[in-house]
Structure 1
């Protein structure tokens, strides 16, 4: 039976698309403002400013064009970390034949199929609406049985039927940009920390390196604000349609296969075998069938404590023979560490570890599938 697009999901996608266009328009406006002021400072000012309607129209056209490019070529950013190979013939476990059959049932364009050599089980759909590609990992092919594999593939075909691919690909491309910005932020923080250490502990002096420290500190603050602002925008955009998108694809998969239990079993398997490494902002996670782990733990920059702890005072002095004053200092410093320093640093680490939610909770999806299964009985 052909799948018809979910109307409520379509409305949410329109809202998300408007937000993505607005963000790109703001980005173009900021770049244009920076270029015009840089040219003016160099003695080569631009022509007088155009009228406001023409300026807004130009920004809108540019933003729409930029979003179209992200939707068209964002796939490269999404799969950049995957070793993807096109399937030969029907591919392992007749995966191409399975996808063709499901696409025919759903009355959508037949997607191409590619396999990523990755141990983590997962699948996602990339590309344009007219020429989509379903990417599965070797880990997925090993983890699921035939019914579960059909259900997972049907979930991806349902995404194509719901026509949510262009906007989610554009969002995933933006997530990839945020991923790179945060990685650069981490490197910049290392440079800032090393420069401060060099200034304080090597005798060069804080005065000699004052200007580099000021420049690095300002650059770090701006970079961090941009990266985390982009995270916030991604969170709002994903919040508009991510849950509805996954629930609609689950319903579509059940329509195609008639087996809610098979999809539930596939989701449980994938949930149990999610990677433990921190890939929460990996662009492919935005398009995956299940969310990546959203723990509040943050990894250390290198080895040892988190970098936030390096900037907090150690308030537990040791004394070999403490007198009454020393004991009072120990008591007070221990209380401050437990009730003030530790809670603050924990909240800071959690704030820095925050990432936008890309999927509804798997348990919620399982409960809905169990409800569908009960209705079939």
Structure 2
């Protein structure tokens, strides 16, 4: 995580240096304050939008006592304050986590509860709690924020150093998209790696990896009906399941499911 944080900071530092070179040192306070505001807004709005998009509601403890007991036990094992547990109809079996330690939320789909055995569901819950415990959601928001900042700086540099206003406007858009995609390739690689870490932490927490491996197999089969899902693209990045084939795997937030299953069973 120290290495990851250092590389993300390096992207940010380059953007700050370029901004100062193009606009002068007086722009530094604006860059710093703007960066904090941008990341903060992305974090707050992203969490609210994710929960709202799936219509998440509180998971009734009287109706689902076993799930709450599992959450309590795993949180105690991770030394983690119990997050808010919610349920939603997503159209497909899935789960996702938002927030941070002390202010997290785990959303479980009704379809997931229906198809999984209790130990499999426990593995999925442990995976999502591991994301909160490891601050992965915050890390991803930070990475996306830095990608946006770098893109904005690149666009303004193109606009202010060009001669043809209309041509420079379109060039700035293209350059901004390319630069943002370059940084996001790194952020997405981090996301795929953090999925492996969350899987390993979940396996340690429940004592073995096979329940989560079986859950991923069932979730993978259920997500073949993804066209019926209420999970939009942004929320899908937070979910336990996501996949990419061929070149698309470099743009995926999750590693190949078969590799995750193999690691869990090894």
Q: TM-score, normalised by structure 2?
A: 0.76
Q: How big is the shift at 1:244?
A: 2.2
Q: How does 1:50-65 map to 2 (within 5 A)?
A: 51-52=24-25, 54-65=26-37
Q: Which residue is equivalent to 2:2?
A: 11
| Cα distance change of structure 1 residues 19 and 265 upon mapping to structure 2, 3 Å threshold | farther
Worse-superposed segment, 100-109 or 81-90: 81-90
Note if contact 1:111-1:134 (Cα within 8 Å) is conserved in structure 2.
yes
| Match in the other structure for 1:272 | 221
Query: Which residue of structure 2 lines up, in the alignment, with residue 155 of structure 1?
Result: 127
**Correspondence for 1:138 among 98, 110, 129:** 110
Large movers: runs of 4+ above 4 Å? 19-26, 170-175, 217-229, 278-281
Write the distance in 1 (CA, Å) between the matches of 2:199 and 2:59. 25
1:234 and 2:184 are equivalent in the alignment: yes
Alignment of 1:63-212 (within 5 A): 63-92=35-64, 94-171=66-143
Q: Distance in 2 between matches of 1:220 and 1:96?
A: 53
- Distance in 1, matches of 2:111 and 2:168, equals 44
| Aligned residues between the structures | 246
TM-score, structure 1 normalization: 0.55
CA distance in structure 2 between the partners assigned to 1:87 and 1:229 by the alignment: 41
Greater helix proportion = 2
CA distance in 2 between counterparts of 1:129 and 1:76 reads 17
Distance 1:154 1:233 in 2: 30
Kindly report which structure 2 residues correspond to 1:250-261, keeping only aligned pairs within 5 A, or say none. 250-261=199-210
Q: CA RMSD in A?
A: 3.7
Distance 1:124 1:250, change over 3 A: same
Deviations 1:154-200 (A, max 9, x none): 1111112222221224457899x9xxxxxxxxxxxxxxxxxxxxxxx
Q: Which has the larger radius of gyration?
A: 1
**SS of structure 2 residue aligned to 1:273:** helix
Deviation for aligned residue 1:127? 1.8
**Does the C-alpha gap of structure 1 residues 220 and 266 become closer, same or farther in structure 2, counting only changes over 3 Å?**
farther
1:306-317 map, 5 Å: none
Gaps of 5+ in 2: 149-165
> Structure 1's 93 and 220: CA in aligned 2 closer, same or farther, altered over 3 A?
farther
- Deviation at 1:228? 6.1
2: CA distance between counterparts of 1:20 and 1:278? Answer: 38
